[in-house]
Amino acid sequence: MNNLTIGFIGLGLIGGSIAKSFKAKYPDIKIMAYSRSKNTLDKAFEDKTIDIILDDIDERLGGCDYIFLCTPVSLNEMFLEKLRPFLHENSIVTDVGSVKGNIHRRVEALGLEAHFIGGHPMAGSEKSGYDNSNGHLLENAYYVITPTDASPKARVDELIALVKSTGAIPLVTDYNTHDYIVAGISHLPHVIAASLVKLVKDKDTPSKLMKQIAAGGFKDITRIASSSPDMWQQICLENKDNLSAILDDYIDALNSINDEIKAGSHDAVYNLFEESGEYRNSLPDKSSGPIKKRHAIYCDIIDKAGAIATIATILAVHQINIKNIGIIHNREFEKGVLSIEFEDEESSLNAAEFLRKFQYNVYVR
């Protein structure tokens, strides 16, 4: 891998993170990059992530074994077309876009199937830009790879190895399956979260009591409503057929449970929560997949000065690191005033044991 030459078009959060990860793993790899911002390219050159700054899409990109398209999805399609005249026999273009259908269809229209392997790293953050990129971003995240029918098998295997070198978990599927899956587990949840927040905003009381006491479950399920409007506008519209189909199914499901609630149907309402709860609890956690489990305990404390410091001291004395700590103000359906989060399960169980010895009421969920 060390003798590969890799090009990047777009060097923001995702492009920058992939480039940094490659350079850390294979210091002799040659990386060239083109991006809208010259400042970004200068920074990446100074911190030795890239070796060559490109001021245009030109024949130098033809010398790359892989070219990563890392600009917003619709621009990736435009750059694919600009790149076409410079591609050599061995050039492979890959992209990191969150939706795969349109770019694959553009690849087919341009006759570039033998030069293209789609990709989607399922990692990111609400922040963007090269300044927020880091070489560890992709670790333990799925990285979906969508070859075309004509993608050379040896190059797909090599790309899989490159993806593995970033710490990501490669998963190969076709682009239609990718777009169907992400509509259900990513795009629909974003639309639901955003619509739910907007509903509460519109239906709040004049004194905004909903906003004041919204917490716990509401915050959990709406966290992703704070995602970038630019990016999610693009993603929803790029995957509109899959998204609107599953949105129709979801509206049907809501209408159906609404009918059961109106009819006072005890069994149907119970069964919804029972079946969903069982399925939710069966989702993979850290030990079997990339969904990271939260290791938290909840603890009752009395409201007096130094109460949190006492707990922090007990844990520090026992060499247990706290990742996050905070008071839960709305504890309906929840026990424990104080939430304390740890890096791993062992720390959370040890913390619970030590605090119980000091007569604290501790809940592990």
Span 96-125, contacts to ligand NAD by CB under 6 A: 96-98, 120-121, 124
Contact string (CB under 6 A) for ligand NAD, positions 209-238, x = contact: ------------------------------
Kindly indicate which of the ranges 90-98, 103-111, 146-154, 355-363 contains the residues binding ligand NAD, using the contact rule CB under 6 A.
Answer: 90-98
Kindly indicate which of the ranges 66-74, 84-92, 153-161, 204-212 contains the residues binding ligand NAD, using the contact rule CB under 6 A.
Answer: 66-74
The answer to whether residues 140 and 164 touch, using CB atoms and an 8 Å cutoff, is: no
Which CB sits closer to ligand NAD, 139 or 204? 139
Which CB sits closer to ligand NAD, 29 or 168? 168
**Binding-site residue total for ligand NAD (CB under 6 A)?**
24
How many angstroms separate the CA atoms of 12 and 337, rounded? 40
Task: Outline where the chain has alpha helix (H).
Answer: 13-25, 38-46, 73-83, 101-110, 153-165, 175-182, 188-203, 209-213, 216-222, 229-238, 240-262, 266-281, 307-317, 345-357
- The least CB distance from residue 361 to ligand NAD, in Å, is 39
Which CB sits closer to ligand NAD, 143 or 298? 143
Residue 230: exposure state from Cβ atoms within 10 A (0-12, 13-18, ≥19): exposed
Pairing of strands 5-9, 66-69: parallel
Span 123-152, contacts to ligand NAD by CB under 6 A: 124, 128-129
SS3 content of the chain, % helix, strand, coil (to 5): 50, 15, 35
Which CB sits closer to ligand NAD, 40 or 339? 40
Among 19, 31, 64, 73, binds ligand NAD (CB under 6 A): 73
209 backbone φψ class: left, alpha, beta (φ>0; ψ -120 to 50): alpha
299: β partners: 338, 362
- The contact set with ligand NAD (CB under 6 A) reads 10-15, 35-37, 40, 70-73, 75-76, 96-98, 120-121, 124, 128-129
